[in-house]
């Protein structure tokens, strides 16, 4: 898809904001510290089609107002000793780009991730020194029909998914002429940001160990080179319930959640599609929101990263040959580990590291090297409960939203269906040679 960039602006806070350096928490500085892309598609009726100039004016003006409250996004990161990062709140601003394409929204089909849609996302130039690189990029692309795409790339070193959606929701409210709903809470010291280590970890933290390699391999270099492909797979509400019914056969405890059973299903299908040997070790990385887990709870409007990773592990042969309940039980057991004490132990573990680089996915900043969590492993993130849908900037709700395209084998996100009917969408990246088999198992195994 050919996209022409027409204009770009640096948008700064509409009013003076607090200026100074903010220490980032260990949750901010580990694993992915690059920009996370998302995209929203809007279609207008011909009778209510606003001009592109009016759309841009509304977005830029309201974004400038939003940055007064969410001022960390207008700052810049800075490396300090030990491969750690801090945030310079200097109101340098964010980048807003106007673009257009000769394509039509219908040309995108079911909006599955593909290289064709890459140009609809803001380009982040990681050759720029980190202290000059904006933390938020926005791109509005006009189609040759009554539609636009609004995409974002936001630094994961500053916010997690919940905080990013919180910001977008409040920005949209300001664009509609409504007041700010909740003032963001910016004090990251609630997660001991900037504090020295005071204790040793009290739990084992498998998420920081080297993940399993394919049997017979001494490194993951060959797997990293394999071509990958993205897929968007829909599960109807009925299919989700069928999976829950299967997983709960033989379950002696409370009913498994949608996330637990769908994640277990994805794990089983990936092991099958990849053709693992029975004894192949496999890790499943799970991301857990700790806002309501920490004691005391974090404020609802906490703005930053408040997530920890935890590992469910097993042997591929057991995952694939045993009933779905087996994998679901392992997923639940991993999640159950995450308590306030576990989260603090995670922070203690990282605070005691002299150098954080081996726990950071910073390949886009420094080199093409970095942690590899692909075959035989998997990472499944839940966006099911996030306020993803209904993002209205004054011209109605989106017709579709999705995460951005990427190339990392084993990355998977579970999203609520765009129809709001209880369906779910699984966005997954796998090596291209495994995609067809995965899709086959993904749907066939629901019925059997």
Active site positions, annotated: 156, 392
With left for phi above 0 and alpha for psi between -120 and 50, is residue 266 left, alpha or beta? alpha
Q: Determine the Cα–Cα distance for residues 7 and 53; give it in Å rounded to an integer.
A: 11
- What distance, in Å, lies between the first and last C-alpha atoms of the chain? 40
Q: Which residues contact 354 (CB under 8 A, 6 or more apart)?
A: 82
Torsion angle defined by CA atoms of residues 152, 153, 155 and 156, in that order, rounded to the nearest 10 degrees: 90
Q: Determine the Cα–Cα distance for residues 22 and 155; give it in Å rounded to an integer.
A: 15
Q: Say what angle helices 432-447 and 237-247 make with each other, to 10 degrees.
A: 80
Token pair in block for residue 317: 């042969």
- Half-sphere exposure in the Cβ direction for 243 (13 Å, CA): 28
Phi, psi of 246 (to 5 degrees): -65, -45
Give Cα separations from 196 to 221, 319, 353 (angstroms).
36, 41, 11
Cβ contact 79:85 at 8 Å: yes
């Amino acid at each position: 898809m050919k996209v022409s960039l027409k204009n770009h602006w640096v948008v700064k806070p509409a009013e003076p904001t607090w200026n100074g350096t903010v220490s980032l928490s260990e949750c901010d500085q580990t694993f992915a510290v690059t920009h996370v892309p998302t995209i929203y598609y809007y279609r207008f009726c011909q009778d209510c089609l606003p001009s592109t100039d009016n759309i841009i004016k509304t977005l830029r003006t309201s974004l400038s107002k939003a940055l007064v409250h969410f001022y960390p996004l207008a700052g810049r990161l800075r490396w300090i000793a030990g491969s750690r990062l801090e945030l310079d709140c200097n109101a340098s601003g964010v980048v807003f780009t106007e673009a257009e394409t000769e394509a039509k929204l219908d040309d995108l089909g079911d909006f599955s991730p593909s290289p064709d849609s890459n140009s609809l996302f803001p380009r982040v130039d990681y050759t720029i020194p980190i202290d000059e690189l904006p933390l938020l990029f926005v791109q509005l692309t006009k189609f040759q029909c009554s539609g636009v795409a609004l995409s974002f790339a936001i630094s994961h070193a500053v916010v997690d998914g919940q905080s990013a959606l919180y910001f977008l929701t409040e920005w949209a409210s300001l664009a509609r002429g409504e007041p700010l709903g909740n003032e963001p809470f910016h004090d990251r010291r609630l997660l001991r940001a900037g504090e020295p280590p005071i204790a040793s970890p009290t739990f084992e933290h498998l998420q920081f160990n080297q993940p399993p390699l394919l049997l017979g391999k001494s490194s993951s270099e060959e797997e990293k080179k394999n071509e990958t492909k993205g897929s968007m797979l829909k599960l109807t509400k009925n299919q989700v319930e069928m999976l829950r019914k299967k997983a709960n056969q033989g379950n002696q405890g409370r009913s498994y959640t949608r996330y637990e059973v769908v994640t277990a299903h994805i794990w089983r299908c990936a092991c099958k599609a990849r053709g693992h040997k029975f004894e192949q070790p496999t890790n499943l990385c799970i991301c857990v929101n700790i806002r309501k887990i920490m004691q005391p709870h974090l404020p609802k409007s906490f703005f930053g990263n408040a997530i920890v990773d935890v590992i469910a592990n097993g042997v591929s042969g057991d995952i694939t040959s045993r009933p779905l309940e087996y994998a679901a039980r392992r997923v639940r057991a991993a999640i159950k580990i995450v308590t306030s004490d576990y989260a603090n132990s995670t922070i203690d573990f990282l605070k005691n590291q002299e150098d954080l680089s081996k726990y950071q996915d910073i390949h886009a900043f420094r080199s093409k090297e970095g942690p590899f969590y692909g075959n035989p492993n998997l990472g499944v993130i839940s966006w099911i409960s996030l306020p993803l849908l209904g993002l209205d900037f004054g011209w109605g709700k989106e017709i579709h939203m999705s995460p951005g395209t990427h190339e990392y084998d084993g990355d998977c996100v579970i999203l609520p269906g765009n129809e709001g009917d209880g369906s779910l969408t699984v966005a997954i990246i796998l090596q291209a040679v495994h995609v067809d088999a995965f899709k086959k198992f993904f749907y066939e195994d629901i019925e059997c």
